[in-house]
Structure 1
Amino acid sequence: MSSCCSGSCGSQSSPPDNRYRRVLWVALFINILMFGVELVSSMKAGSVSLLADSMDFLGDAGNYAVSLFVLGMATIWRSRAAYAKGVIMGAFGVLVLARALWIGLGSHVPEAETMGIISIIAFAANGVVALLLYAFRNGDANMRSVWLCTRNDMIANLAVLLAAIGVFGTKAGWPDIAVASIMAFLGLSAARDIMGRARLELAKTTAPVR
């Protein structure tokens, strides 16, 4: 789960980077499209790891939409948006863990072939987004959160592929459950990173001037 150009450290708004704005629009479209693809595929395959990945795409689409909204605003608002995104990522992580536990209590075996095909498509989609965002990976907390989300998504896609191989080889559902749990912990880790960075930026912007 996931999971997220230099930003101004002052309290004044910095001019939006038109290149970054265009990249965010492309990323938003790709993530909305892939959310639909993975959601339908997760239902068809009965895969909780694909479901977790589809929720990740939806969360990222929300991240990109928020990032576009706050792009030209003061640093304090961008940091607040990043903190809110961290909270949402953490909530997704908890929900996925709960779903994995619920599915794990049964004996359902997902469709490995569907899991594998969709995970490869998702990896390619996230790869395109990651290449577009690479130049902006060391920006402020808001930009950092966008980069971390995409990076974690690619790791998650490979994990789903491994889960598909595991399900195919074992004819059991536990690899799917295990990967979904790992994805949830990745989302929680990224959420902590984003929220910590955002808190530091908020402390700087609200500190009294001497």
Structure 2
Amino acid sequence: GHLCEELGLGGRIPFDDMEIDLGRPWARRSFKELYEEHTGLALRDLDGARRRAAEKGLAIEGLSNWKIVHDLFEDAVEPLLVDPTFVTDFPKELILLAKTSPGDPEFVECFELYIGRMEIAPAYTELNDPDDQRERFVSQLARGGHEWGELDEDFLLSLEYGMPPAGGMGVGIDRLIMLLANRRSIRDVILFPLLRRKEQDPSRDDEDAG
């Protein structure tokens, strides 16, 4: 909100077909609360999530149940997150490297800031317990949903040596500029966007061959 005021944009900004209110207190909602409210499913009803995703035509082949839960969240909840909203307390199965919440071991210390239906800034407390980290990796591998395909023993060994308490947040500067400049395409705000390969003139094929 302060940045918008400094830029002379005021407390409400247009973005695509939305008007975003940055001036009021930013909402805080848990992942579980939003997911259950807008899908009608219990968070840990994984079979129900798979059936619902199939009914909606979402791609599910080869995906773990928790990846499908995440995809359902993106489909049912993200389009509703127009005004700034901190989504908190993600299930530990979705963020393997985040520290377990002291209030509930089924969730992790994490938030993601959404504005204009986009994730702007994910953040979490780093998991520095090697036993907990190994258990999560093994569990994920057993479900067939780990992108690495095998345990990262070097990483686990480094945790055993010791890691101080840490946390971090990654602000999507490009998406933030998209919001402030009211540009829907990320290509409009990147200095050197990737370009499509120019199609070669078919008339030059003979020249190249020669």
Greater relative CO (CA pairs within 8 A, separation 6+): 1
TM-score range for the pair, normalised by the shorter chain length: under 0.3
Question: What is the TM-score of this pair, normalised by structure 1?
Answer: 0.27
Higher strand share: 2
Higher helix share: 1
Question: What is the TM-score of this pair, normalised by structure 2?
Answer: 0.27
